[in-house]
Every structure is written in C-alpha cells, then in structure tokens.
C-alpha cells in the first residue's frame, strides 16, 4: 500500500524556519520524483517544489531562495526546508508522488498519483 506521511508542521513566527518531512512506504522512493504542495483555506492547491529521482530540483517563484527540497532514499524520506517564513506561507502542506521519475509538469496536481494527509504550517506572531 502506497503511503506518504508528512510531519514537522507547526506554529512559527514570521522569519522563522521549519523543516517538513515526507515519509514514503509501499514503493521504492528512489524510482520516483516527489513534489510538495500547499493549500490555504479557500485556495487551490499550489505546487511548490519537486525533486527528481536524480536529485534535480525545481521551485516556483514564491518559494525560490527560501525553500529547499532534498531526499534521502535510504531513509525513504523527502524533506522541505523552509526558511524566512511569511504569513502567506500559512497552509496545509502536502507531499505527493509524481507519476514518473522526473519533474515534468511538477506544479500540476494531476501529475501526481498519491498524496499524504498533510501537515499544518501556521506562520504568525
């Protein structure tokens, strides 16, 4: 059974940092690209980043320079290091398995076939 479980969310002050983890099971992580998305209340799910099986990384402009995606295939885990957090980063963050090994159309929800349950990130003073 394919499963993705996010963790590491919480309450953080503006300018602070948080590292999210995505633990994969039921499939070989090394063979897939993994993406991170977020969804704020009343908003569409937004693609943020993707890491390919070869560790190529991609970011959307709103998080570029602040967020870093990485993976540890041995641990079956993908990470999202988030720095310089802003109030507009407040959302539920999801990791998802890309349908392929590379980050083609990485910002599109339809490109992914399995999703985690999400972890809440709240940026507030």
Which pLDDT score, from 0 to 100, does residue 86 have? 98
Spans in the chain with pLDDT lower than 50: none
Which pLDDT score, from 0 to 100, does residue 10 have? 98
Which pLDDT score, from 0 to 100, does residue 25 have? 98
Q: How far apart are CA 58 and CA 10, in angstroms?
A: 24
Which pLDDT score, from 0 to 100, does residue 18 have? 98
Which pLDDT score, from 0 to 100, does residue 39 have? 98
Which pLDDT score, from 0 to 100, does residue 71 have? 98
N- to C-terminal Cα distance for the chain?
40
Q: Is 68 exposed, middle or buried (0-12, 13-18, 19+ CB in 10 A)?
A: middle
Residue 121's nearest CA partner among 38, 15, 21 is 38
In the structure encoding, which two tokens stand for residue 98, read together?
């890309």
């Amino acid at each position: 059974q394919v499963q993705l479980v996010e963790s590491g969310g919480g309450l953080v002050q503006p300018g602070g940092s948080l590292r999210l983890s995505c633990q994969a099971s039921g499939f070989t992580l090394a063979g897939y690209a993994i993406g991170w998305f977020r969804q704020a209340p009343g908003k569409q799910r937004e693609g943020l980043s993707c890491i390919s099986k070869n560790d190529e990384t991609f970011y959307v402009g709103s998080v570029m320079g602040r967020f870093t995606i990485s993976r540890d295939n041995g641990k079956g885990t993908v990470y999202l290091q988030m720095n310089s957090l802003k109030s507009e980063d407040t959302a539920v963050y999801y990791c998802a398995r890309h349908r392929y090994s590379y980050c083609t159309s990485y910002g599109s929800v339809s490109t992914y076939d399995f999703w985690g349950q999400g972890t809440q990130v709240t940026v507030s003073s």
